């Protein structure tokens, strides 16, 4: 990462340890573990009433006579998590346009792996919970928590080759796309057609902004809020608005690298010529214009998608996801049913077996089939042993799994608690098992002479669409 020789301020020196923590790839996963433990301790402490009372406290927003009221947990799950889904949508779009999903050859392995990792856990869950309202939870063990899984993978350091990280990231992104579709199709209740048409109209306006090369963030924020309100009123889960907004965010640069370098060099010449020796803390009018021109060039050389994704990532990783975990991970264990009994309920057992057995087995089976049929290749530097380690970590459901659990069992607190216990238990088991495997035999990298892996296909990036 480029550095400057600008001396840090005292405040920047004080914040250096925190910045290093935030910059570490494993930090978000470690923070989620800590927050989850805090939620469980709080929910089972003498202050448990304050925990549950906090998240059920009503909060209303009123504007021009229109009032929207929900409890705090719903504001988090239906409102704040829209930003999480916006980030997920931006990551999916970037990978489809120019990343690991940009061509059929490159997408084949993570696509097959994700399908296996979604289908088999759902089937295992339904084998145990085929009847009654418990069957609504079949979507819970399908989900992979991308941030948590990659954070845990980073803990093994160099024992996890780059190709394995790319594979797990692409798998989790496809998995997230599947989870979004499951939420939109299967966890939508009644539909308000008027609101749905309004949401479609707002989405079309957003796409028009994209076609007109509107690059400022503010118009997308304003219309994004309108889109969220319309989707919320439509009956489709409100977080889908985040994915729709991501689709409309432009992913094109205004200027290329050469244009940027030429512009900045010429503007810097103007800046240097206009320096005033006796005014060290003042800029001339031409220098201020030069600084603004450089800022404009810096904005133009980046895509809006990348700028927004980069701006959202720390907020999602270190604020939104921890707040969501704090609000949703707390389960009271002192209600007459102990943790052992809660784990043995059909709902919890179906989720645990789906995450611990279904996820890695489904990922390995369809990955092996795709490679055997010649549709895909193993990423460079990986072996089937290391792929198994990533497949086990793919069973870390956590954020998305808890989210789907809330949708599936919102009207049944007992079932929701069982689902949460299942998600937490399954995620803990897969975390420990995946790290143990990668620290052991699965983390041994193949030698250059003995490796049968080949470099992934370097297919060209997919052609740009009008709405990129």
Burial (CB count within 10 angstroms: exposed 0-12, middle 13-18, buried 19+), residue 157: exposed
Q: Are residues 317 and 354 in the same domain?
A: yes
CA-closest candidate to residue 252, choices 313, 308, 205, 306: 306
Q: Are residues 430 and 286 in the same domain?
A: no
CA-closest candidate to residue 383, choices 368, 370, 393, 366: 368
Residue 3: inside a domain: no
Looking up tokens 């940009």 gives 102
Give residue 267's domain range: 257-299
HSE, CB side, 13 Å, CA atoms: give it for residue 57.
8
Instruction: Measure the CA–CA gap between 363 and 390, rounded to whole angstroms.
Output: 9
**Whole-number pLDDT of residue 462:** 34
Q: Are residues 323 and 353 in the same domain?
A: yes
Of the three residues 299, 322, 350, the one that is the final residue of a domain is 299
**Global pTM value:** 0.76
The count of structural domains within the chain is 2
Residue 271: inside a domain: yes
Residue 210: inside a domain: no
Percent over 90 (pLDDT), the chain: 36
Residue 404: inside a domain: yes
Residue 392: inside a domain: yes
**Whole-number pLDDT of residue 281:** 65
Query: What separation in angstroms does the CA of 116 have from each of 262, 381, 442?
Result: 49, 23, 20
Cβ contact 141:397 at 8 Å: yes
Q: Are residues 278 and 408 in the same domain?
A: no
Q: Are residues 167 and 114 in the same domain?
A: yes
Q: Are residues 135 and 56 in the same domain?
A: yes
Q: Are residues 392 and 329 in the same domain?
A: yes
Burial (CB count within 10 angstroms: exposed 0-12, middle 13-18, buried 19+), residue 153: buried
Q: Are residues 33 and 163 in the same domain?
A: yes
**Whole-number pLDDT of residue 26:** 62
Q: Are residues 181 and 269 in the same domain?
A: no
Residue 225: inside a domain: no
Tell me the β-bridge partners of 69: 60
DSSP string, 277-323: TT-TT---HHHHHHHHHHHHHHHHTS-HHHHHHHHHHHHIIIIIHHH
**pLDDT tens, 367-423?**
999 999 999 888 878 889 999 999 999 999 888 898 899 889 988 888 998 999 999
**pLDDT tens, 61-80?**
887 777 888 889 889 988 89
Q: Are residues 395 and 432 in the same domain?
A: yes
Residue 451: inside a domain: no
Q: Which pair of structure tokens corresponds to residue 277?
A: 């020796």
**Whole-number pLDDT of residue 163:** 81
- Which residues, 6 or more positions from 401, have their beta carbon under 8 angstroms from its beta carbon? 140, 141, 143, 145, 351, 355, 423, 427
**Whole-number pLDDT of residue 449:** 40
Q: Are residues 342 and 290 in the same domain?
A: no
**Whole-number pLDDT of residue 136:** 93
Residue 408: inside a domain: yes
Instruction: Measure the CA–CA gap between 430 and 360, rounded to whole angstroms.
Output: 9
Q: Are residues 369 and 421 in the same domain?
A: yes
Instruction: Measure the CA–CA gap between 190 and 78, rounded to whole angstroms.
Output: 16
Low-confidence spans in the chain with pLDDT less than 50: 1, 13, 15, 18, 21-22, 24, 447-468
CA-closest candidate to residue 430, choices 143, 50, 4: 143
CATH number for the domain that contains residue 149: 1.20.1530.10
């Amino acid at each position: 990462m480029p550095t400057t020789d600008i001396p840090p301020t005292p405040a920047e020196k004080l914040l250096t340890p925190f910045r290093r923590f935030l910059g570490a790839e494993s930090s978000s996963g470690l923070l989620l573990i800590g927050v989850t433990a805090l939620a469980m301790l709080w929910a089972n402490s003498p202050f448990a009433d304050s925990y549950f009372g906090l998240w059920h406290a009503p909060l209303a927003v009123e504007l021009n006579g229109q009032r929207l009221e929900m409890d705090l947990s719903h504001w988090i799950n239906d409102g704040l998590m829209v930003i999480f889904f916006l980030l997920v949508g931006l990551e999916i779009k970037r990978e489809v346009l120019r990343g690991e999903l940009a061509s059929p050859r490159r997408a084949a392995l993570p696509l097959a792996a994700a399908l296996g990792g979604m289908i088999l856990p759902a089937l295992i869950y339904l084998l145990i919970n085929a009847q009654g309202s418990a069957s609504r939870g079949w979507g819970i063990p399908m989900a992979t928590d991308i941030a948590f899984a990659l954070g845990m993978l980073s803990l093994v350091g160099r024992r996890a080759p780059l190709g394995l990280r790319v594979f797990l990231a692409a798998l989790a992104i496809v998995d997230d796309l599947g989870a979004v579709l499951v939420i939109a199709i299967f966890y939508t209740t009644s539909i308000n057609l008027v609101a749905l048409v309004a949401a479609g109209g707002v989405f079309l306006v957003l796409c028009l902004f994209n076609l007109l090369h509107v690059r400022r963030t503010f118009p997308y924020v304003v219309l994004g809020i309108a889109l969220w309100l319309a989707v919320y009123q439509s009956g489709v889960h409100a977080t889908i608005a985040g994915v729709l907004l991501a689709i409309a965010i432009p992913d094109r640069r205004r200027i290329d690298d050469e244009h940027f370098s030429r512009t900045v060099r010429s503007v810097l010449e103007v800046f240097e010529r206009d320096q005033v020796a006796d005014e060290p803390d003042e800029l001339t009018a031409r220098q201020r214009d030069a600084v603004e021109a450089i800022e404009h060039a810096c904005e133009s050389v980046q895509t809006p998608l990348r700028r927004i994704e980069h701006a959202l990532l720390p907020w999602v990783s270190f604020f939104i996801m921890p707040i969501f975990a704090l609000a949703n991970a707390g389960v009271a264990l002192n209600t007459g049913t102990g943790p052992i009994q809660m784990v043995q309920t059909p709902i919890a057992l179906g989720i645990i077996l789906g995450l611990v057995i279904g996820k890695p087995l489904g990922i390995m089976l369809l990955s092996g089939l795709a490679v055997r049929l010649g549709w895909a290749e193993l990423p460079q530097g990986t072996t089937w042993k290391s792929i198994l380690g990533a497949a086990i970590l793919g069973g870390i459901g956590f954020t998305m799994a808890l989210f789907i659990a809330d949708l599936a069992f919102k009207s049944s607190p007992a079932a929701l608690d069982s689902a949460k216990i299942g998600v937490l238990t399954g995620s803990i088991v897969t975390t420990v098992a995946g790290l143990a495997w990668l620290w052991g035999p699965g983390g041994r990298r193949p030698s250059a002479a003995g490796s049968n892996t080949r470099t992934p296909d370097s297919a060209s990036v997919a052609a740009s669409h009008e709405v990129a």
